[in-house]
Every structure is written in structure tokens, then in C-alpha cells.
Structure 1
Amino acid sequence: MSLVILLCTACSHKYRVDSLSTPEKLIPVNSHYYVMMAADGHFGGTQYVGSGVMVTDAVSMVLQQHQGGVTKATSLETLEQALERANTQNIEYVFRPLIVHWEDRATEWSGRPDRITMRYTIFDAKTGKEIASTLESASSKWGTFGGDHPQDLAPQTVEDFINSVSG
């Protein structure tokens, strides 16, 4: 029996919300977001080229499923530039994804899980005020056969955050 429990535990990803700041009132479901491009993640001396684009795509995909509209940045920019772009396009919110930690491991033979830590922040595009943020960590399941990567963990972290701030 304990072997079955151990094996089942090894077959699921783990997600943890480390901090969460929610808005005073929930963000309407039909809102339009400008999604900033995330900078690539790194671990130790390894930079994971393309991880920023993968995270930006994951954020955009989840927001498109839950919200009114999404405009995605095509390059890295400052928050001020993103707020300006959002305002010129009459977009209500700016969503800034930040890869805090990105660790891609060969879990299938090392037994070490992939790990990510993401910081997501939503700003009111008109005022530039931060209205919601979260820091969420995730690790891959141990029982993988080479099919999991850090980018597979990102969509659920976005989903968790959006579900807690919109309604």
C-alpha cells in the first residue's frame, strides 16, 4: 500500500504559492491585457534561451481562455514602455511575467525534478499602479520518462493566479 502511495506522489507536479496580493475588487473576466515579454530564465551558469518566449506564450494562452483579449509584446521592454503601448491601444491591464528560477533537469535518469519560480504582476495601464501579484513555485513529477520540461509547469501557475484575481 505504501509503495502505491509513493508511486502516485511521484506522478504529480507540485505547485506552491509563495505570496499573493489580490486586487481590491476582482478584475472583470472580459478585460484586455498587454502581456510583456519575459526575459529568459537561467540556472547557475546556464541561460535557457527561448524560455522567456515560452512563458509569454503560456501567459497569453491562459489569458485568452479566461479574458476578453490579449496583446502580446514581441520584444523585451521596460514597464514604462509597456504601459505606454497599452494606453495607446486602449488596453486596461499590463501583465508582467518574470522568471525568477528556471531549472531544466534530466529527471528521467537523475531523479531531480525540473523547477520554476515565477513572479506575475498585473498593473492598471492607465495609472501604472500594481493591482495584483504572485510568486509561485512548481516542480515536475519524479516519475517522468523525458516528456516534462519547465515550460510545461508554467501554464498552471498562470491559471492559479488568474483564477485568484478575476471574476
Structure 2
Amino acid sequence: MRVPMILALVTVLAGCADSHRWSPQQNGSARITTSDRIFITTPADGEYGDNVYSGSGRNTAKIIYNAASAKSHLVRIGGLAENYQDAINQAQGAEQDILIFPTILHWEDRATEWSMISDKVEIKVEVIQVQTGAVISSGIIKGSSGLATLGGDHPQDLLPQPIAEFVSSLF
């Protein structure tokens, strides 16, 4: 009787666990210092099929801002960046040292508690020295919610931990 009960408990707890990972694509040798002015562009809102998740771009920029602000006081969020050149132009116009350019690649907010389909998120993040155009780091953060969410979870809830870890690695 104990073994089936333990297996059921382990299964339920495993269903609650979110998963996320950072997959680096490029890591330069340069690091961000606390005296660098950091500019975070706002990505376009995430989409899945015909659904556009209004505010997801701003949420993503804010999560990155919160992580960077824990390391530096010289952090600001810029406007919507349609593309890489637009992001560079915004950062140069604001006389910033470092550009963090996030792009939402996948954003899927599901009613997991009844559909048993996980929320999913995938964000590409590029960190660039504005003056030289050198890439300090770039990679992709992927996250997926557990199945036993008990409601209220969203893709942005999968981002704070991996983004905080990524930002910490830049300093």
C-alpha cells in the first residue's frame, strides 16, 4: 500500500515542476561593469497561432530589468524594437553602453489545469556593447510549466529564475 501511495505522490510533485534552461549561442570575453549604462529594448508581444499575448513584450523587458537592476543602478527600458538595427539605434540615441535585445520566439499560455497542455516560452537574448557592436553574450531561454499548476500560471512566470541566472553571469 505504501509503494503505490509514494509513486502517486512523486507523480503529482513531478507534474508541478516547471522546467527551464539557458542555451548559450555565443559568449564573448567582455563583461558588464556596474558603471555601464544598460539599455533593454522591449520586444514585440509574443504570439501563438492567432493569439497575440498583449503585454508579453513589456513583461519580458521588465523581468530582465528587475534582474539587471539587482546588479546595477544604471538600467533603463527602451521602447519597442522592431529589429536589431532599431534596437542599436535606440541604445546609441540614449547614449548607453550595453544593449540587451530580447526577442520572443515562442509564447504559449494554456489553461494547463484542465487541458494538460503546458505553458511554453522561448526568448532569445542578445547582449551587445553599443560602441563596438561586439556581442558579449547571446542565447535562448526555454521554459515549460508543469502540468499540475492549479491555475494562475503564465509563460512570464517561467522567466525570472533563468533570466536572473543569465544576467548574473554577465557581471
Q: Normalising by structure 1, what TM-score?
A: 0.88
SS across alignment from 2:80: coil
Q: Give me the whole-angstrom Cα distance separating, in 2, the residues matched to 1:81 and 1:118.
A: 18
- 1:59 match: secondary structure: helix
Percent of counterpart pairs with the same letter? 28
What's the CA shift for 1:38? 0.5
Question: Are 2:51 and 1:46 aligned?
Answer: yes
Distance in structure 1 (CA, Å) of the matches to 2:34 and 2:28: 14
Partner of 1:145: 150
Q: What 5-or-longer segments of structure 2 have no aligned partner?
A: 1-5
The secondary structure found in structure 2 opposite 1:73 is strand
Q: Which stretches of structure 1, 4 residues or longer, exceed 6 Å deviation after superposition?
A: none
Q: Which of the pair has more CA radius of gyration?
A: 2
Q: Which runs of 5+ in 1 are unaligned?
A: none
Equivalent residue runs for 1:1-167 within 5 Å: 1-166=6-171
- Opposite residue 103 of structure 1, the aligned amino acid is E
Structural RMSD (CA): 1.9
Whole-angstrom distance in 1 between the partners of 2:135 and 2:38: 14
The residue that corresponds to 2:3 in the other structure is: none
Give the 3-state SS of the residue equivalent to 2:16 in structure 1. Answer: coil
Q: Greater shift after overlay, 39-48 or 66-75?
A: 66-75
SS in 2 for 1:16: strand
Judge conservation of contact 1:32–1:91 (CA < 8 Å) in 2: yes
Q: Under a length normalisation based on structure 2, what TM-score does the superposition of the two structures give?
A: 0.86
Aligned residues between the structures: 166
Which residue identity is paired with 2:60?
A: V
